[in-house]
Amino acid sequence: MRATKSSDRRFKAAYRDWLALQGDLVGRVSSNLVDIADLVGAGSTEPRRWIEASTKLWSGMIGDFGDWIKQESGRALRPAQEWISRCRLEIPQGQKTVTLTIAVPLEAFQDKRGKKLPAIHLEILGVGRVGRRPGASLEPGKHLSFKDPCVKKADRETELTLYDLPPRFLGEVYGGLVWAIETKYPVAALEIEIVE
């Protein structure tokens, strides 16, 4: 009887993980269609932009599938230093508000003891200028806010809005880290560049 309950529990967990993977893949395809629609709407003929959109889709899908296989096989997931997500954003000079999509890696939902978490809460301490010169920084609540700081394992994307960007912020490169509060792991590295 116990073996049956244990097997049933494992089957349900595997089925939920499989459904979550399907949701991730559909979400990535949907995001890619939005990227392509934006390129078409902007009349972009620059091959680099189209290749980036395609590469983002396929690398994300392969990463999701690889992570799912590792979890299902019982193998340990990669350490945090390898799975931090890199989010790069180019902001046209003079733009005051922009939204950045952050894809949270699957490993972020596992604490140091290996316990799987159904959801995590994200935190960002600020975004500062990269380099030796001190300069303007972007602060949570003043320039940065998450659409929803709670991210569920079944839907691992969230949006970070940058708003009220000050004029002295323009023309620089800025960086920052997004953290998972529950695990105290970095989840995403932000790289923001102001472009002409």
pLDDT digits (tens, 9 = 90+) for 145-164: 999 999 988 788 889 998 88
Domain ranges of the chain: 1-75, 80-196
The torsion angles phi and psi of 20, rounded to 5 degrees, stand at -65, -40
Which residue in 116, 58, 109, 98 sits closest to 190, CA to CA? 98
Q: What is the mean pLDDT of residues 43-48?
A: 83
pLDDT in tens, 62-105: 877 777 776 676 655 554 445 677 888 888 777 788 898 888 88
User: pLDDT tens, 161-194?
Assistant: 988 877 666 567 888 899 999 988 888 888 888 7
C-alpha 14/C-alpha 23 separation (Å) is 14
Parallel/antiparallel/unpaired status of strands 173-180 and 150-152? unpaired
- pLDDT number for residue 81: 43
Portion of the chain with pLDDT greater than 90, in percent: 9
The answer to whether residue 121 scores a pLDDT higher than 90 is: yes
Instruction: Please give the pLDDT value at position 1.
Output: 47
Range 80-196: architecture per CATH: Sandwich (2.60)
Which residue pairs from 110-118 have beta carbons closer than 8 angstroms and sit at least 24 positions apart in sequence?
110/77, 110/183, 111/182, 111/183, 112/183, 114/76, 116/153, 117/153, 117/182, 117/183, 118/152, 118/153
